[in-house]
Amino acid sequence: MQGKAQLSDSNRRIMELDAPPRRVYQAWKGSNLFFLGGRLIFGPDVRSLVLTVCLIIVPVIFFAAAVCPQLGHEFHSQIGGWAASVAMIFTAYILAILLLTSSRDPGIVPRNSHPPEPEDIDGSSNLPDWPGGQQGSTGLPLTRDVLVNGVSVKVKYCHTCMLYRPPRCSHCSICNNCVERFDHHCPWVGQCIGKRNYQFFFVFVSSTTLLCIYVFAFCWVNLRRIMDTHQCKIGGLTSFHLYLISTNQTTYENFRYHYDWRTNPYNLGVGRNFADVLFSSVPSSKHNFRAKVKDDSSAFTSSLSMGRVLSPPKMSVDLEMGMKRQAVAAEDLEDLHSQIGSAMGLERCGTEPPHFVGRKGCSEMSSDIEAFAEEFGMERGFNERKKIERRTNDDS
């Protein structure tokens, strides 16, 4: 077992000697991200660059594809093509500056592998701020004074990087590095802005501003041409409603009553009018649209009790009559035929059976039965029985 252990230890030493040395970016203790073998260094939020690039490219694409052709058509020249070409070249230049701003070392101060020795600290240190062994930095003061152009400036000790920060240096909590002439950490470029990339950052910001002005100017020229061609104005509705809000009027009141400052009872002053219209709480609705609706059968019953029968819709009548026609059986039709025959006989002889006393007469009963027969499609048989009756009367 010991031989194996010794063999493994020796092998481990041989592997360590034969292994290629690690590069600085591979052993980096900060939060930076490296690409192309350490040639490009970004902050940990480098993904925000995608949004920044889209915000620059997408408007330029719409400008070149929509506005520039319209400009060429309006002015009957090559101005649209030139405007698009300049915009695209300027955009490429801005993207290059953006890459230089975000992919360069912003001025990171190298870390120390161990804290500085106390004897290396001169007498300019502030003894009242002595940490007294804080985080293993025994005997190191928190601040020290350095001369900058003859002026004494305090610099702080960084416990993370184990060094006294140079003047105008600060530790970035996002990248976890001390950066010289630290300006800020810009999330739009995903990198700290410091001594080595501030110039590129300023050029990027100013160039982007010029690109916005350039695109906006041509868009405004195109918009003015469209307004002059179609005789229209933009922003009139917004201005009109700003006037209505400032005087606390509605559009209807303005056209109907023609309020002025004296006769408008709702005018509270410009400030209170804006507060009343735009910043007042929205009142609750006077309707509960999710509430259950009461059944209308009670209303139908009450109307029947008062003698007012509600006529159902025609569609429901047709459906009911269809169901009735299907429900009538063959034997019911035979009974109906017999009732019709007896009614015809009563009408012919002019007599009524005792159980018809106090009810409708023969003629009225026959007319009712005739209407009922027509409803069920029995008009043909009823007419045939009428013809037979007339022939019998003529023979008699």
> Residues with catalytic annotation?
186
- Cα first-last separation, the chain: 142
Which two three-digit tokens encode residue 329?
Answer: 């059986």
Which two three-digit tokens encode residue 373?
Answer: 């027969």
The CA–CA distances, whole Å, from 108 to 44, 158, 161, 178, 180 equal: 15, 13, 11, 6, 6
Helices 362-375 and 330-349, axial angle in degrees (round to 10): 150
Cβ atoms 114, 76 nearer than 8 A: no
Q: Is 192 helix (H, G, I), strand (E, B) or coil?
A: strand
**Which amino acid does the sequence have at 321?**
M
Instruction: With CA atoms as reference, report the closest residue to 244 among 231, 257, 232.
Output: 257
Q: Could you tell me how many helices (H) and strands (E) the chain has, helices first?
A: 13, 9
Tell me which DSSP letter residue 278 carries.
H
Which two three-digit tokens encode residue 288?
Answer: 């509960």
Gap between the Cα atoms of 139 and 129, Å rounded: 11
